[in-house]
Structure 1
Amino acid sequence: MSNEEFVITLDIGSFQVRVIVAEVNQDGTTQIVGVGTAESKGMKKGAIINIDQAVQSIREAVDHAERMVGIEISEVFVGVSGHHVSLQPSHGVVAVSSEDREISFHDIDRVLQAARVIALPPERAIIEVVPKQFIVDGLDDIHDPNGMIGVRLEVDAIIVTGAKTIIHNLLRCVEKANLNIAGMVFLPLAVSELCLSADEKNQGVVVADIGGGTTTITVFRQGHLAGTSVIPIGGEYITNDIAIGLRTQTTTAEEVKCKYGVASKDFAEIKETFQVQTIGTTRERIVTQIELAQIIEPRLEEMFQLIRQQVKAMGYSDEPAGGYVLTGGVMATEHILHVAQKQLGSAVRIAVPGNIGVKDPAYTGGVGMVHYLQKRGILQLNKPRSAHHPPRQKKQRGPSAFEKMKSWLSEFI
């Protein structure tokens, strides 16, 4: 295992923290070899509200993944999303540096850095630069200019920015969990990398990642990221409705939802029954699956209606040519596609990772980051743990790009 390379991703959700460990093979393919999960504490609607609890959840998930794979995880790629994220266009221009005028990866990096030079409010920070197209000596619509001959290299890009305070708190949590940040990834981009085809992006498509506390909506048009938005609805609203409707505790409602819940009463079995403890009494009442579905279905219908309304409010057609692609933990609900198609139209599908062991839409974010990073050629090497392996220590090295970023952020916080 000493020569194996791994990509480790960290997806901090409202209800669960997920760590994905992927081995990168010599031929460039990736294989998921480990997963770590933990209940997400200190989070609310995608934002950190208690650093100590969030750190504990991160450590539990990382420890779980370490035990499964048998390596020591020291660096992770962290997914970033939320209502604080916004997009803005930018343009970068550089002269090709080599004498033979052949464009290299160094030139591509320089032009992307040039695109970062934009006027930003003092409370915003750049998360990622997403190239839409490169232009070589006036020739546009180039996706990969590496190896081409030219004098002038330009890029049209989308700048993904976020609130400095929220990014700072995220950096702090990961650091306090004794981990280094190898990089930050804009999570909706990673999800789309896993879920969407090139044709869907070109035709125009909406991706809705429905998690426990929030739903992230991402719109693609003409092959490019066009817009993103977050609405504060998710699986917890269904759980709360069940708790109120059955007059039971929230933990019991969550268990009942996961074990017996179906998205539509059309697929519920009247003979399927279960018992729940009623709040304020010592009695247990018998509930049928149809009663449970009558609580779940209206909330799901409302969620899909809100998604459609939000897409329209963002200035896009609520009936995209490429349809809707749905993912996230809520999409594991049985027969949910039936309800989604009634509200969003027939052009709806559910995206699920195809990897063995993570065939659950809740893992789309973490697995999507692996695919996104692999496409960009970014690898992370972790040494295997042995009986003589010393305790985890931070290596003495120069400041990384993200340490420099943290230092820069501290000037404003």
Structure 2
Amino acid sequence: MGNTGIYVGLDIGTTSIKVIVAEYVKGQMNVIGAGSERSEGLSRGVVVDIDKSVAAIQQAVRQAERKTNIEIQKVTAGIPANLLEIEPCQGMIAVADESKEINDSDVRNVAAAALVRNLPPEREILTIIPDEFIVDGFDGIKDPRGMIGVRLEMHGILLTAPKTVIHNMQKCIERAGLVLDELVMNPLSLGKLALADGEQDFGTVLIDLGGGQSTAAVIHDHKLKYTYVDQEGGDYITKDISVVLNTSFDSAEKVKRDYGYADSLQASSEEDFPVEVVGKEAPVTVNEKYLAEIIEARLTQIFEKMNQSLRKVGALDLPGGIVMTGGVTALPGIVELASDVFEHNVKLYIPDEMGLRHPSFAQALSLINYTANLSEIDLIVQSTLKGNYATNKSNYTAKQVVKPDSEQFRPANNQTATQKEASEPKKERFAGIKKFISNFFE
């Protein structure tokens, strides 16, 4: 499957904005060019200053246009999973055509019936994903068009998000002079790119470590089942380095990128590097191991909170293990550290497109991949949402995020005594650093 044409992915992140232009031909993605600009006006993945965000988006778009010699108009953008709610939906209609042959109009009507629901005023439906169609009691149908039937049903999944988050993102894109083709939930598109078909089917935890926040998503049976967002990301690691080493934020970021390790066991105590310290004329010498301990302390805290959340829903019982991506995963040793904390198989996803072989480009690429591979039936169902068929009433009690099925997702605690003993010395070693950092941020 795959549509043919030029697609543009716009990843509006907390620390950087990336624009990737690619051509899709017979299911193959050919990247033409990309642009990247330091992000402004965003905090923890959410737009907080529209004017600054618009300026940064325009800069990134102009970079991509110069490299590709293509005028960019339509884009597919991603939206973070902050306060995401996932809930099932279903609709049923009588087939309208006299011949009883199901057509596009019937599909739109049954999707519209599934969208009729009460929503609190602060929330908005982001997308509707059809799971199956049922024609006169026969289920498991992916595309009912052309079939003969009297009654048509659709079962699917609704993703809703805060109206403010959606509106501000749309406003930024429109004011940047762009047309929003699709607005996609980030974990949804990322799962389609980073996970193999079997991993999406049997179940896998996908972790995206970004600059502004860290997101864990459970993909099972090719569906997004659960998300967890930690409002700590790469920026928190940089702030920790800045405070502990008494250096500027920019200097701390450079030190992290050039000398940082996620796992202190891989860093050397004999390798030193200079750090510019506030209030001192001469740089101070710091060794790699000390820097790694600062980084590891924050990453361990992020992973431990994720681990607790994922174990509550039994997601770590899934056979697909854990797949990580995002800019922070470029730190050496992060797979080993995550394996120690989660006590589970962990692997890293890095795009293999020329010039984009860095995990920070995964999200923008996934947006292109997601849009280019939407089927006709997906496009018809989503066009119903764009036609404003959904109702919005205030007398509604918000539902919680849909948790994975309890029988398929049973909590597990497989940590052995040997593993616990091995982890104790490392915990003691970081206790002092954690306590110091907590005085500033916790």
TM range (shorter): 0.7 to 0.9
Change (3 A) 1:240 1:375: same
Q: Secondary structure at the match of 1:297?
A: helix
Q: Secondary structure at the match of 1:71?
A: coil
Query: Which residue is 1:322 aligned to?
Result: 320
Indicate if the aligned counterparts of 1:183 and 1:402 stay in contact, CA closer than 8 A: no
Amino acid at match of 2:220: R
Residues in 2 aligned to 1:355 and 1:320: alpha-carbon distance in whole angstroms: 29
Query: Which residue is 2:116 aligned to?
Result: 117
Residues in 1 aligned to 2:186 and 2:108: alpha-carbon distance in whole angstroms: 22
Residues in 2 aligned to 1:230 and 1:158: alpha-carbon distance in whole angstroms: 20
Q: Secondary structure at the match of 1:18?
A: strand
Moved more, 366-375 or 293-302: 293-302
Change (3 A) 1:161 1:251: same
Change (3 A) 1:320 1:62: same
Change (3 A) 1:102 1:325: farther
Indicate if the aligned counterparts of 2:83 and 2:161 stay in contact, CA closer than 8 A: yes
Taking the TM superposition and a 5 Å limit, the aligned residue runs for 1:195-344 are 195-313=194-312, 315-344=313-342
Query: Which residue is 2:35 aligned to?
Result: 36
Query: Which residue is 2:73 aligned to?
Result: 74
Q: Secondary structure at the match of 1:76?
A: strand
Q: Secondary structure at the match of 2:19?
A: strand
Residues in 2 aligned to 1:137 and 1:404: alpha-carbon distance in whole angstroms: 27
- What stretches of structure 2 of length at least 5 have no aligned partner? 377-382, 393-442
Structure 1 residue 99: Cα displacement:
5.2
Q: Secondary structure at the match of 1:118?
A: coil
Residues in 2 aligned to 1:210 and 1:175: alpha-carbon distance in whole angstroms: 28
Q: What TM-score comes out, normalization by structure 2 length? A: 0.80
Change (3 A) 1:57 1:236: same
Q: Say which structure is richer in helix.
A: 2
Query: Which residue is 2:9 aligned to?
Result: 9
Residues in 1 aligned to 2:335 and 2:146: alpha-carbon distance in whole angstroms: 45
Query: Which residue is 1:381 aligned to?
Result: none
Q: Secondary structure at the match of 2:360?
A: helix
Indicate if the aligned counterparts of 2:200 and 2:222 stay in contact, CA closer than 8 A: yes
- Can you list the C-alpha shifts for 1:24-65, whole angstroms capped at 9, x where unaligned? 22x343211111111111100011111111111101110111
Residues in 1 aligned to 2:207 and 2:144: alpha-carbon distance in whole angstroms: 32
- Can you list the C-alpha shifts for 1:310-342, whole angstroms capped at 9, x where unaligned? 2234x3344433211111111111121111111
Structure 1 residue 67: Cα displacement:
0.6
Moved more, 284-293 or 249-258: 284-293
Indicate if the aligned counterparts of 1:208 and 1:327 stay in contact, CA closer than 8 A: yes
Indicate if the aligned counterparts of 2:191 and 2:219 stay in contact, CA closer than 8 A: no
Residues in 1 aligned to 2:234 and 2:283: alpha-carbon distance in whole angstroms: 25
Structure 1 residue 106: Cα displacement:
4.3
Q: What TM-score comes out, normalization by structure 1 length? A: 0.86
- Can you list the C-alpha shifts for 1:52-109, whole angstroms capped at 9, x where unaligned? 1111110111011101100111221111123232222110223345555444444433
Indicate if the aligned counterparts of 1:309 and 1:318 stay in contact, CA closer than 8 A: no
Structure 1 residue 13: Cα displacement:
0.6
Residues in 2 aligned to 1:372 and 1:258: alpha-carbon distance in whole angstroms: 30
Change (3 A) 1:103 1:350: farther
Q: Secondary structure at the match of 1:62?
A: helix
Change (3 A) 1:197 1:140: farther
Taking the TM superposition and a 5 Å limit, the aligned residue runs for 1:29-68 are 29-68=28-67
Moved more, 196-205 or 225-234: 196-205
Residues in 2 aligned to 1:223 and 1:183: alpha-carbon distance in whole angstroms: 20
Residues in 2 aligned to 1:198 and 1:403: alpha-carbon distance in whole angstroms: 29
Out of 353, 356, 361, the position equivalent to 2:354 is: 356
Indicate if the aligned counterparts of 2:46 and 2:165 stay in contact, CA closer than 8 A: yes
Residues in 2 aligned to 1:339 and 1:285: alpha-carbon distance in whole angstroms: 28
Structure 1 residue 377: Cα displacement:
5.0
Moved more, 193-202 or 284-293: 193-202
Amino acid at match of 2:292: A
Identity %: 37
- Can you list the C-alpha shifts for 1:250-282, whole angstroms capped at 9, x where unaligned? 100101111111111222233432111111221
Amino acid at match of 1:110: N
